[in-house]
Amino acid sequence: MTERITWPNSVTNIIVEVCLREKKTRLTMKELRQNYLDKIVEETQSGGKTPHQTLARILQNIRDMGIITFQGKGNYTFVKHPSDEVEGKTKSKTSQGEKLLGEILTEKNLKYTSQFIDPRIRNINPLPFDFMINIANKKILIEFDGEDHYQVVKRSRSELKNWVNFFRRKRLDRIKNEGAEEHGYMLVRIRRDQVLSGKVVNKKLLESTLLSKLAKIF
């Protein structure tokens, strides 16, 4: 079942995805209505009689947030952020949780591939998964989700940029979730806030959480 998302998230998702994929910054109301309105209605599970009016209202809200600018006569310009340029590239830093997961997998004699890529699971570039293991012919992907996966993290003075980065992360996570299911993988996600002792990732708690999630697969 497709996860229901809100109108602002669905519309922003499409604007960001289309502009980055097609390497452009301009969209028109006509283009959004003709090519993407049905998808928006499906994602939001809307049953309203005036989706065209709802789309126009949401575009005004997104404009007010600074994600797009209005150029007149139904033309909009996407305000691009630097973080969009690195989408899908392998991360240069490994988090504490990922390092501990690698240690746990090694200690359990589970061979793994780190930063695993299936080229079919992509947005613009293929999207890497933290780990891939194979147990009893089951391909299992493991993701350690830092706090930016489930809440807005204030890394910038710009509240808008923080919000857009959070939205972008949720969108990429959804692509990964759907891609893993479509291509025959089992996906295990572990949230950082569920394996903490104080402010530090607890290795024993992380191990028990991982093994518990893996046990549910078999």
Domain of residue 37, CATH code:
1.10.10.10
Pairing of strands 26-28, 75-78: antiparallel
Q: What is the pLDDT of residues 91-145, one digit of tens each?
A: 546 789 999 999 999 999 999 999 999 999 988 788 999 999 999 999 999 999 9
Count other Cβ atoms within 10 Å, centred on residue 112.
Answer: 17
Note the pTM of the prediction, 2 decimals: 0.62
| Higher pLDDT pick, 74 / 156 | 74
| 87, part of any domain | no
Is 21 in contact with 13 (CB distance < 8 Å)? no
Does residue 102 sit in the same domain as residue 174? yes
Q: What is the pLDDT of residues 43-94, one digit of tens each?
A: 888 867 899 999 999 898 888 877 788 888 888 887 755 444 444 444 546 7
Q: What is the pLDDT of residues 17-28, one digit of tens each?
A: 787 677 778 889
Does residue 62 sit in the same domain as residue 106? no
Domain range for residue 75?
7-80
Does residue 162 sit in the same domain as residue 192? yes
How many domains is the chain built from?
Answer: 2
| 58, part of any domain | yes
- Find the mean pLDDT for residues 160-167: 74
| 196, part of any domain | yes
Q: Could you tell me which residues come within 8 angstroms of residue 136 by beta carbon, excluding any fewer than 6 positions away?
A: 218
pLDDT band at residue 218, thresholds of 50, 70 and 90? confident
Does residue 20 sit in the same domain as residue 104? no
Does residue 128 sit in the same domain as residue 167? yes
| 85, part of any domain | no
Burial 173-208 (b: 16+ CB within 10 A, else e): bebbbebbeeeebbbbbbbbeebeeeeebebeebbe
